Structure formats: structure tokens, C-alpha cells
């Protein structure tokens, strides 16, 4: 009879187990030693999170600084270290004060003007705030190139080697770097004529202003030429900025329920860790709204159907509303096809967005062309608790007389609401283009004639391309200057005549663009934008279907195949306007004819 030793099998298994544990232990030890050796020679990169553009600007300024030091035969590193150790001395301050003053005084560029001189030199740095930003970025570069290494070499003195910008002690602002800021505003600014107040007025775009701009985008399409996808993308980007103050980014395709994800592209340094936790995105949900101008969801749906982006596919707007079967649930997510998950739904280069914004305000008759930033200020006005500390316009929104004297001052809520609308002072009859005679004046400038001659005799194709681009930029600048001058003279004249009670009919000088609107184009969309629908659901659904269908028809009737540019290219430059027929092709964004 065979006997069973209860210890034999376990002993064999123990050897195997011990071998496995020992191997894992050795592997873990070797891995740890390898990482230790790696990190001993590679300390943590302690430079701050900055955008690529900011990093490039800092590098440019640092190159300027090192060239300045080389020209004056001074040592850059010694200069920075002396400044940190003895910031109150003239010896330590002098190199930086000299650099900043030189930077401002030599920032001149030759710019075209309309007079017979054709060019004049203009100083580009005219604000103490601009020069302060130069100093701020130079300080950041000094921290990176000089002080960071000093802290590594002398860790026990790490706090000494810091270019403190601001340290708050008993409410005062002090620090080596801030001493220069005080000098810049108090002494340098008056000496060389730098502005010490903002050179622009912080204005807000109210909902009325946004509505006027978006309606103009569609109703005056002949004066605002761009491709169909660009027009819809511009509409969407304006809505995103006006809705939550979001900066232009690349909103990704998410669930068309509709949830929009916006990448946060400007975050304070102290908030970077929270950005890492939430992925750096802000999400908000929207639905179809009665006022079509403000219906971002409609733009999302129209673009999605146009690109066949849904999975499963929807070929018409009606299918989106009618085909889904909810059965016993209240929610069905409409998913994107895999190929569309990382594609921008509203592709638009910032340059195009900015140009279309100013062109739209001009065509709408606005007297002052507010920056895109005014959309954020307007959003701040509608979310006081959220944005109160950052996005307040210069104009006080309240009726101060009523706050001070109550009903004795009257209420006039409607009047004060209108006073916030920049569109209240607009004039749609203001010129939006220059006439042929004014165009000929530009062509007879000597600089234009010389450039055209250089293009004709250039033998190298790359040189011809460079010269054509230079000519286009020059004509665009001259066209803008001419139009600005023409509009300024127009507003001056009509204001004077109207104040006298006289007619201004003889002042109108609108350009006949000879535009023929094809059916179902921008005209159909602009008509839908002005329809005021009942708040009840059936009326809203009917109108939403009509509006989205109009958008989709506009998008798909256009030559979509010709719009396959890479993202970031200037989509606004196009031959023709949304399929409109014109006698002469002319880009009103750049103000030039084909060359």
C-alpha cells in the first residue's frame, strides 16, 4: 500500500514559490535603482505651465536682452544676481531701466498712411501697461535662465534667489521686480509719453447687440463674404463667447443632447492642478431655443447632418426629430462616428474669426468696433456672481439717479437697458466699401506701382509669391485706412445734419454690389432668424425644424468639396460669396481684387 508523505508535495511547491518571490524582489530592486539613478541626474522641471505663444514671446525677449547685454559689454547673469541682492541700488536697476526705455523708444515701424508721404514712422509701444507686460515676461525668463539654476546650486538660499514680482506685506506691493514697475508708471511714462490708462474702453456686447450682429451676418451676406462652413462656424463661436464668455477654441463633438465641452485655455497658475483633475474642460448643456439667432443646438445639428457624423446616420433634420424610438426611456444619446470624435465641429482660425467679427460690426453700422473680448464682458454682465471681478465694462449698468433718489428720479428701466446696447447708435447706411475712384487712388500710389513692377520682372516663382503677398497686405491696409476715413467723415456729416433737423439722403454712398441671391440661401436663414415663435413646445419644434433645415440646405447647396482646407487656414478668403453672383470677384475682408 502506498504511503503519502504530507510534506513532500508542499516542499516542492515552496521552492517554486520562493524562487518566484525572489525573482520579483530582484526585479523590483533593479527597477527602483534604475529610476533612482535616472532622477538623480534629472531634477524636476520647475518651470511654470505656459502657452506656446507665451513661451515664444519670452524667448524673443530673452534674445533681445542678451543682445542688449552684448552690445553694452555687460554680463547678463551678474546683472540679474546683483539686482536680486541689491534691488534698491542704481547700479542694480540701471541695466533693466535702460533696456525697457530703449525697447519702447526703438519700437518704431514704418506704416502706410493715406497722405502724399505714403509712410510714416510710428512707435508701437505707447502704453505703460504694454511695457509692464514686456518686463513681466523678461522677469519670467530671468527666473527660468538664471534664478532656477542658482536655487539648484545653493538650495539652502533658495528663497533668496527669487525675482519676486509681488509680495503682499501689510497691504503693500514690494519685491525686486515690482520696483521697476513703480518706476515705469511714475517716472518713465511721463518722460517718454506712455499712456498710463487703458487705451481702449472695456465695452460689453448685450444680447441685443449679439442679435443685431448675427442677423447682419446672414441678411447682409453679400457684404460679408465667406464660405458656408465658415459662416456657420462664426455664428457658433460668437454664441459660445456670448453664452459663457468662452474664448475661441476647438469645441469637440460630444453628445448632441446637446452637451458642449469647452477646453479651458487660460487658467491661473494656482488652478493648474484642478485643471488636471477635471481634464481641463468645462461642460454645459443646451437645448433648442425659440430665438433662432441664439440657438447653438441648431447649428450643431445642421453641421452634424451635413458631415454625416452621427452613428447611426441621419440624412435629414426630420429624421432626428421623428425616427428615435424612446419606448419606456426618457433619453437616447446620439453618438458620433469614431472618425468625428476629435474633429472640430466649428472649424475656424482665430484670424478669420477676428476679421469676420469686425467686418460684421462694420456692415451692421456700428460706430465703434468692439473687440471680441466685448462678448466676454457681455457674458460677465449676465453672470455677475461668476465674473464680477474680471469682466465689468467701463459703463455703470445701474441707473445711479434712481439708486440715489428713488422714485423721485423716475425709473426708466427700458431706457437704461437700451443705453447699454452699442447697436443703439449704429447706422446701417454707413459705407461698407470704397468706390472705384477711391480704389484707383490707391493703385496710383508709388509704393503700389513699384510692387507691381517688381512682380512683373521677378523671375523666381517664390519671389513673385512673396511680392504678391506683400502687395495684398499693403492694399488690404490701405483699403481699411480709406474705409475708416470715409466712415468717420460720413458719421461726422450725418450727425451734424441730423442735429440741424436736415435730411441725410444725399450723404448715402452705398456700393451697388450687383448681387443676385439664389433661392434657399442666406436669405432663407436670415428670415428664420427674425421669426418670433410662441414659447409652447409645438410651435418651437416646428420653427426649429424649419430653421435647422434652412441651415442644412445652405450648407449642402454650397460647393462643399472645395472647402477641404486644413484646420487653421484662413477660411474667409474665397472666390465669390456663398455662391452669390457678382460682376467682379472681390474679397471685402482684405479689400483687394484678384492680382
Domain boundary assignment for the chain: 52-192, 201-265+278-429+539-559, 430-509
Lookup: cell for 395: 459703463
Write out the chain's pLDDT in tens, 595 residues. 444 444 444 444 455 555 677 888 888 888 999 888 888 888 776 666 777 788 889 999 999 999 999 999 999 999 999 998 888 899 999 999 999 999 999 999 999 989 889 999 999 999 999 999 999 999 988 888 888 888 878 877 777 777 766 544 434 455 677 888 889 999 999 999 999 887 666 677 788 888 888 999 998 988 998 889 999 999 988 888 887 655 555 443 333 346 666 665 554 444 444 444 444 556 666 677 777 888 888 888 888 888 888 888 888 888 877 777 766 665 667 778 888 877 888 888 888 988 998 899 899 888 877 777 777 776 655 555 444 445 445 455 565 556 655 665 566 666 666 666 667 778 888 899 999 999 999 999 999 999 999 999 998 999 999 999 999 999 999 999 999 999 989 988 888 887 878 887 776 554 443 444 444 467 788 887 776 655 555 566 777 888 888 888 888 874 433 333 333 444 434 333 343 333 343 443 344 443 3
DSSP at 516? B
DSSP at 47? P
What backbone phi and psi angles, to 5 degrees, belong to 19?
-65, -40
Helices (H), 308-396: 317-322, 350-364, 373-382, 384-387
- Rounded Cα gap, residues 163 and 186, in angstroms: 21
Nearest to 335 by CA among 280, 253, 419, 417: 253
Helices (H), 184-221: 189-192, 207-219
Chain centroid to CA 81: 38
> How many residues in total does the chain contain?
595
Q: Are 178 and 166 in contact (CB under 8 A)?
A: yes
Q: What torsion, rounded to 10 degrees, do the Cα atoms 297, 303, 309, 312 define? A: 60
SS3 content of the chain, % helix, strand, coil (to 5): 55, 5, 35
- Rounded Cα gap, residues 409 and 403, in angstroms: 9
Which residues touch 106 (CB under 8 Å, ≥6 apart)?
A: none
Helices (H), 530-586: 537-557
Amino acid at each position: 500500500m502506498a504511503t503519502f508523505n504530507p510534506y513532500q508535495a508542499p516542499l516542492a511547491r515552496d521552492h517554486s514559490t520562493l524562487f518566484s518571490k525572489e525573482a520579483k524582489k530582484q526585479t523590483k530592486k533593479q527597477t527602483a535603482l534604475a529610476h533612482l539613478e535616472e532622477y538623480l541626474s534629472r531634477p524636476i522641471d520647475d518651470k511654470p505651465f505656459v502657452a506656446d505663444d507665451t513661451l515664444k514671446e519670452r524667448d524673443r525677449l530673452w534674445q533681445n536682452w542678451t543682445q542688449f547685454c552684448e552690445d553694452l559689454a555687460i554680463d547678463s547673469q551678474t546683472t540679474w544676481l546683483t539686482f536680486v541682492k541689491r534691488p534698491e541700488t542704481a547700479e542694480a536697476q540701471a541695466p533693466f531701466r535702460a533696456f525697457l526705455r530703449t525697447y519702447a523708444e526703438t519700437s518704431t515701424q514704418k506704416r502706410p498712411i493715406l497722405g502724399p508721404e505714403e509712410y510714416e514712422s510710428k512707435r508701437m509701444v505707447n502704453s505703460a501697461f504694454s511695457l509692464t507686460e514686456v518686463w513681466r515676461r523678461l522677469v519670467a525668463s530671468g527666473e527660468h535662465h538664471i534664478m532656477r539654476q542658482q536655487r539648484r546650486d545653493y538650495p539652502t538660499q533658495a528663497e533668496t534667489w527669487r525675482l519676486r514680482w509681488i509680495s503682499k506685506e501689510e497691504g503693500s506691493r514690494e519685491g525686486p521686480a515690482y520696483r521697476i514697475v513703480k518706476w515705469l508708471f511714475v517716472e518713465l511714462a511721463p518722460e517718454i509719453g506712455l499712456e498710463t490708462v487703458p487705451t481702449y474702453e472695456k465695452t460689453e456686447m448685450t444680447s441685443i447687440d449679439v442679435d443685431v450682429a448675427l442677423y447682419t451676418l446672414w441678411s447682409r451676406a453679400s457684404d460679408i463674404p465667406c464660405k458656408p462652413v465658415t459662416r456657420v462656424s462664426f455664428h457658433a463661436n460668437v454664441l459660445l463667447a456670448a453664452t459663457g464668455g468662452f474664448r475661441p477654441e476647438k469645441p469637440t463633438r460630444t453628445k448632441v443632447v446637446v452637451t458642449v465641452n469647452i477646453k479651458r485655455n487660460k487658467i491661473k497658475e494656482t488652478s493648474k492642478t484642478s485643471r488636471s483633475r477635471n481634464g481641463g474642460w468645462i461642460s454645459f448643456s443646451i437645448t433648442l431655443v425659440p430665438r433662432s439667432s441664439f440657438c447653438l443646438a441648431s447649428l450643431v445639428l445642421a453641421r452634424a447632418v451635413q458631415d454625416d457624423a452621427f452613428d447611426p446616420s441621419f440624412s435629414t433634420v426630420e429624421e432626428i426629430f421623428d425616427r428615435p424610438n424612446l419606448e419606456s426611456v426618457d433619453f437616447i444619446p446620439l453618438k458620433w462616428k469614431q472618425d468625428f470624435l476629435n474633429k472640430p465641429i466649428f472649424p475656424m482660425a482665430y484670424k478669420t474669426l477676428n476679421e469676420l467679427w469686425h467686418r460684421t460690426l462694420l456692415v451692421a453700422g456700428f460706430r465703434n468696433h468692439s473687440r471680441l473680448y466685448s462678448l466676454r464682458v457681455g457674458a460677465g454682465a449676465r453672470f455677475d456672481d461668476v465674473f464680477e471681478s474680471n469682466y465689468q465694462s467701463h459703463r455703470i449698468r445701474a441707473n445711479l439717479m434712481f439708486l440715489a433718489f428713488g422714485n423721485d428720479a423716475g425709473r426708466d428701466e427700458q431706457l437704461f437697458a437700451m443705453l447699454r446696447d452699442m447697436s443703439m447708435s449704429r447706422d446701417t447706411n454707413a459705407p461698407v466699401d470704397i468706390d472705384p475712384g477711391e480704389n484707383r487712388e490707391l493703385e496710383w500710389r508709388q509704393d503700389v506701382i513699384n510692387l507691381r513692377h517688381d512682380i512683373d520682372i521677378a523671375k523666381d516663382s517664390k519671389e513673385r509669391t512673396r511680392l504678391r503677398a506683400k502687395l495684398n497686405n499693403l492694399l488690404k491696409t490701405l483699403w481699411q485706412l480709406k474705409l475708416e476715413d470715409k466712415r468717420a467723415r460720413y458719421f461726422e456729416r450725418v450727425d451734424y445734419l441730423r442735429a440741424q433737423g436736415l435730411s441725410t439722403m444725399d450723404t448715402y454712398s452705398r456700393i451697388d454690389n450687383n448681387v443676385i441671391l439664389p433661392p434657399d440661401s442666406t436669405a432663407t436663414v436670415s428670415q428664420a432668424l427674425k421669426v418670433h415663435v410662441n414659447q409652447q413646445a409645438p410651435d418651437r419644434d416646428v420653427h426649429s425644424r424649419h430653421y435647422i433645415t434652412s441651415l442644412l440646405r445652405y450648407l449642402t447647396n454650397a460647393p462643399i468639396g472645395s472647402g477641404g482646407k486644413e484646420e487653421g487656414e484662413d477660411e474667409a478668403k474665397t472666390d465669390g460669396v456663398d455662391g452669390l453672383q457678382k460682376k467682379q470677384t472681390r474679397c471685402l475682408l482684405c479689400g483687394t481684387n484678384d492680382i
